[in-house]
Amino acid sequence: MAKNVLQHTITALVENKPGVLARVSGLFARRGFNIESLAVSITDDPTVSRMTIVVGGDATVLEQITKQLNKLIDVIKVIDYTDMAVVERELAMIKVNAEPKNRAEIMQLVDIFRAKIIDISDRTFTIEVTGNVAKVDAIESLLDSHGIQEMVRTGRIAMMRGPRTP
Amino acid sequence: MKITGAQALIKSLCDHGTKMIFGIPGGVMLPIYDALYDCTDLEHMLMRHEQGAAHAADAYARASGKVGVCFATSGPGATNLVTGIANAYMDSIPIIAVTAQVRTTALGKDAFQEADITGITLPITKHNYLVKDARDIPQVVAEAFHIASTGRPGPVLIDVPADISFSQVEYQPVNKVELRSYKPTVAGHPLQIKKAAKAIVAAERPVLYAGGGVISSGASKELVDLSERTHILVATTLLGKGSIPETHPHALGMLGMHGTAYANYAVAHCDLLIAVGARFDDRVTGKLDAFARKAKVVHIDVDPAEIGKTVHVDIPIVGDCKHVLSELLKCVEPREETEWNRQVTQWKAEYPLHYPNDGGLYPQFVIEQIWEATNGEAIIATDVGQHQMWSAQFYKCTFPRQFISSGGLGTMGYGLPAAIGAQVARMDKTVFLIAGDGSLQMTIQEFAPAVAHKLPIKVAIMNNQYLGMVRQWQELFFNRRYSGVDLTAQPDFVKLADAYGAAGIRIEKPEEVRPAIEKALEINDRPTVLDFRIAREENVYPMIPAGQSIEEMMVQRPK
Ligand SMILES: Cc1ncc(C[n+]2csc(CCOP(=O)(O)OP(=O)(O)O)c2C)c(N)n1
Ligand SMILES: [Mg+2]
């Protein structure tokens, strides 16, 4: 991602129906908005899904995105988390080269980041790490020197701090 | 008693007041057409191409203010609707397109005549449905009408698989729709409205800029009242034509690329621009940073996404135009005519619309004659091109829903099916289509249903034997290199009219114009084609070249 483009986290509560994801992602593609990450799952209400979308762009772009999302009939509510007190998390699984001579060092790293080793082979560790984006980025770059074989990140999810607001 | 899903569909359409359907049947559409066969409350017009069905439904909606309905079968039938749906989407016109689909068990398996029409129309519908259970049909139809006709109107597509049409259901009518995720704002924010009222009092050089939203929300009276109370002059967009009678002293006609010079001067110099139900299209604004440069902008629109989309807005008011204008009327102080009114009136006198007077047959003259012969009371449908712009300039509309033209998409071929849809909606009115020789040939097959239904539409072809608008751009910006615009190889439109069972008259000289129009007005049991052989290389002026500013406006052919 280009460094000078602002990132925004927005949350869309949508009807849990087939095709809604296509409507949302199509809207982004059509208007030239770039999705950095997208996480979708159902909520405490099974008829509602929650999409957490990270997008790049300035304030005007973000305003258009929010308004256009709101126009989709299946979108119930859109909240822009930029400048709000939120907790954000992302989960990553990283498969990294783990030669016997490096294992101790990697395990130490895992400890420091409060990550977990969830699978081991004779050559690799698979590490699970949860945290905000900066933390996941940090462990990723540290592990990179050992050689990352494979990585998957869930994309960001976010929630407001404090009690639920209506 | 159980009925089929197809019968439930037809019943639901009737429940929501549908009187007319434009369509073409086909394989998986059979059960729906079978249900139609028994229905006495609905009329069906068999079109000759699904594009025609969609345009006819669209024009029916524009002329009547009701939702237009069209039918097509799966696959090619559905894809043929696409241009018509996109056209309705761009101009915010409420239509419902019902398409048949292959059986649910065959979906996604490339079955015969399968096309993913809900996928294809995702970006050109306000919403669409793929019905998976026949019991949902009344609910889906009710939602479709609600969504199509409220807020910012638009097309809704309902895709009905064949097995759904065949299955048996208990019919439960649905009249009231509540959608938690769709609640358009109707009332404008009172504080914003007060701010706008204050801005009007403070303004020295205000201008109203009225678009299609004024027509669709039925806000013409409020617009005219506001203009009269405050003496603010009104420029209209192509789709806003008729929102204020163009014979009204406050009317400036159309603004934008081919707008009147005085409307464009007024907007260029105003200090307050009040946009009502308009969306600052590039054909209106030209170069954005030069558009209404000195103006504070008030923007009234039902669609929040339009506010600030292309221009900076100082006082946004989200709400239904009619509602907002009537609230604004309650709090706005009356204003008298000012120096500014005199200035604009002077521009009006200085830069009138004009055309040559050298004995040639000029389209502007023809349109003026049509206007006179119909007392300015005809419904005008147009195709797309030069003739469309001349129509917008020279046919002064006097009431809303009078001018029926493809604005946002600029769809050649819109005209003939649109004239049909408009005539069906308004049998009490004379419908004149001002057609281009190029555009007409894109949907010319629709003469057949017009003749079959004895529709007395008048089709005035501005026949320049060119794709004239493109030729004009080639003349002005491509050094007269006329590439791919010559239409001299064309049918004899008079014989063609005859072949379809319509009347046809060719007009070559100015003195033949009025008698031909009068003759056409007397024919009331079939369409009449008037083939006007106009001056071939006449151009539309004024013209502000695309993306440029008023300084570049040409008021006549450059020497
Ligand atoms: C379906 C479609 N194809 C192409 C165009 C591009 N186009 C715009 S105006 C025009 C020429 C229209 O010719 P005609 O209908 O004869 O009208 P005229 O400009 O000559 O009055 C063309 C080709 C279009 N608007 N729509
Ligand atoms: Mg032509």
Does residue A164 fall inside a structural domain? no
A163 lies in some domain? no
Q: How far apart are CA A16 and CA A50, in angstroms?
A: 9
- Domain holding A124, by residue range, is 87-158
- Residue B479: phi, psi to the nearest 5? 60, 40
Per the structure, the count of domains in chain A is: 2
* CB burial readout B376-414, b (16+ within 10 A) else e: bebbbbbbbbbbbbbbbbbbbbbebbbbbbbbbbbbbbb
* Nearest alpha carbon, ligand 1 atom 20: B468
A166 found inside a domain: no
How confident is the model over B244-255, as pLDDT tens digits? 999 999 999 999
Q: Distance between CA atoms of B127 and A19, rounded to whole angstroms?
A: 11
Rounded to the nearest 10°, the torsion over CA A46, A7, B183, A71 is -100
pLDDT at B243: 98
Q: Whose CA is nearest to atom 11 of ligand 1?
A: B467
User: Tell me, what's the pLDDT at A5?
Assistant: 58
In a domain, A165, yes or no: no
- Using the mean position of ligand 1's atoms as its centre, give its distance from the Cα of residue B90 in Å: 17
Name the residue among A15, A22, A67 with its Cβ closest to that of B304: A67
Q: Indicate whether A68 and A96 sit together in one domain.
A: no
pLDDT digits (tens, 9 = 90+) for B180-233: 999 999 999 999 999 999 999 999 999 999 999 999 999 999 999 999 999 999
Cα angle: B477, vertex B480, B486; to 5 degrees: 115
Domains and CATH numbers, chain B: 2-170 (3.40.50.970), 190-350 (3.40.50.1220), 363-533 (3.40.50.970)
Q: What CATH number is associated with residue A118?
A: 3.30.70.1150
pLDDT score of A165: 67
Query: Which residues are paired to B70 by β-bridges?
Result: B22, B97
Chain A interface includes B127 (CB < 8 A): yes
- Distance between CA A106 and CA A109 in Å, rounded? 5
Q: Is the CB of B464 under 6 A from ligand 1?
A: yes
Among A80, A111, A129, residue at a domain's last position: A80
Long-range contact pairs involving B192-197 (C-beta distance under 8 Å, separation at least 24): B192/B315, B192/B316, B192/B317, B193/B317, B193/B324, B193/B327, B193/B328, B193/B331, B194/B331, B195/B315, B196/B274, B196/B298, B196/B300, B196/B315, B196/B317, B196/B328, B196/B332, B197/B328, B197/B331, B197/B332, B197/B333
Q: Quick check: B308 and A15 CB within 8 A?
A: no
Task: For the beta carbon of residue B512, count every other beta carbon within 10 angstroms.
Answer: 16
Tens digits of residue pLDDT in B32-57: 999 999 999 999 999 999 999 999 99
What are the chain A neighbours of B179 within 8 Å (beta carbons)?
A: 73
Confirm if B463 and B377 have CB atoms less than 8 A apart.
Answer: no
Query: Which tokens in the block code for residue A93?
Result: 């699984």
What pLDDT is attached to residue B266? Answer: 97
Residue B357 CA: distances (Å) to CA of B361, B362, B364:
9, 8, 11
Residue B410 Cα, ligand 1 centroid: separation in angstroms? 8
Ligand nearest to the CA of B416: 1
A104 inside domain: yes
**What integer best gives the mean pLDDT of chain B?**
97
> Per-residue pLDDT for B261 more than 80?
yes
Domain boundary, last residue among A30, A54, A80: A80
DSSP state string for B219-259: -HHHHHHHHHHHT-EEEE-TTTTTSS-TTSTTEEEE-STTS
Is residue B543 over pLDDT 80?
Answer: yes
Among all bound ligands, the one having the nearest atom to the CA of B388 is 1
Cβ contacts from A onto B, under 8 A: 33
Q: Are residues A96 and A142 in the same domain?
A: yes
Plot region of B65 (φ>0 → left; ψ -120 to 50 → alpha; else → beta): left
Q: What average pLDDT does range B499-516 have in this prediction?
A: 98
pLDDT digits (tens, 9 = 90+) for A104-120: 999 999 999 999 999 99
Q: Is residue A2 one of the residues assigned to a domain?
A: no
Q: Is B411 in the pocket of ligand 1 (CB under 6 A)?
A: yes
Looking only at the bridges linking them, the beta strands covering B206-210 and B233-236 are: parallel
Over residues B420-446, mean pLDDT:
98
**Residue ranges with CB less than 5 Å from ion ligand 2:** B 436-438, 464, 466, 468
Do residue A91 and residue A59 come from a single domain? no
Query: Do both A28 and A52 map to the same domain?
Result: yes
> What CATH number should be reported for the domain holding residue A67?
3.30.70.260
The answer on pLDDT for B66 being more than 50 is yes
Chain B CB within 8 Å of residue A60 CB: yes
Same domain, A133 and A148: yes
Whether residues A64 and A110 fall in one domain: no
Q: Is the pLDDT of residue B542 over 90?
A: yes
Is residue A29, in this structure, part of any structural domain at all?
Answer: yes
Are residues A19 and A49 part of one domain?
yes
A61 in any annotated domain? yes
Query: Is the predicted pLDDT of residue B547 greater than 50, yes or no?
Result: yes
CA distance B77 to chain A (A): 23
Strand runs labelled E in B285-430: 296-301, 315-318, 379-382, 403-404
B385 ligand 1 Cβ < 6 A: yes
Q: In chain A, what are the helix, strand and coil shares in percent, each to the nearest 5?
A: 30, 40, 30
How far apart, in whole angstroms, are the C-alpha atoms of residue B374 and residue B388? Answer: 18
How would you class A108 by CB atoms within 10 Å of its CB: exposed for 0-12, middle for 13-18, buried for 19 or more?
exposed
Asked whether the beta carbons of residue B309 and residue A64 sit closer than 8 angstroms, the reply is: yes
Same domain, yes or no, for A94 and A65?
A: no
**Closest Cβ–Cβ partner in A27, A30, A73 for B182:** A73
A60 plus A113 within the same structural domain: no
Position A6 scores a pLDDT of 79
Check residue A58 and give its pLDDT.
Answer: 86
The finding on whether B383 has its CB within 6 A of some atom of ligand 1 is yes
Q: Are residues A71 and A93 in the same domain?
A: no
> Chain B residues with CB inside 8 Å of A70's CB?
304-305
Pair (A16, A76) in one structural domain: yes
Q: Return the pLDDT at B272.
A: 98
Residue at a domain's end among A80, A104, A139: A80
Of A22, A26, A73, the CB nearest to B127: A73
Say if residue B347's pLDDT is above 70: yes
Between the CA of B531 and the centroid of ligand 1 the distance, in Å, is 17
Q: Which residue of A has its CA nearest to B121?
A: A23
**Residues A18, A69: one domain?**
yes
Per-residue pLDDT of chain A (166 residues; tens, 9 = 90+): 344 457 899 999 999 998 999 999 999 888 888 899 999 999 999 999 999 999 988 888 889 999 999 999 999 999 999 888 999 999 999 999 999 999 999 999 999 999 999 999 999 999 999 999 999 999 999 999 999 999 999 999 999 999 886 5
pLDDT at B110: 95
Query: Can you tell me the mean pLDDT for B360-367?
Result: 98
Q: What pLDDT does A166 receive? A: 55
- Measure the CA–CA gap between B32 and B4, rounded to whole angstroms: 9
Within 10 angstroms of residue B478's Cβ, the number of other Cβ atoms is 12
How much is the average pLDDT of B276-298?
95
Q: Please compute the mean of the pLDDT values over residues B120-143 and round it to a whole number.
A: 98
Residue B384, pLDDT above cutoff 70? yes
B464 CA distance to ligand 1 middle (Å): 12
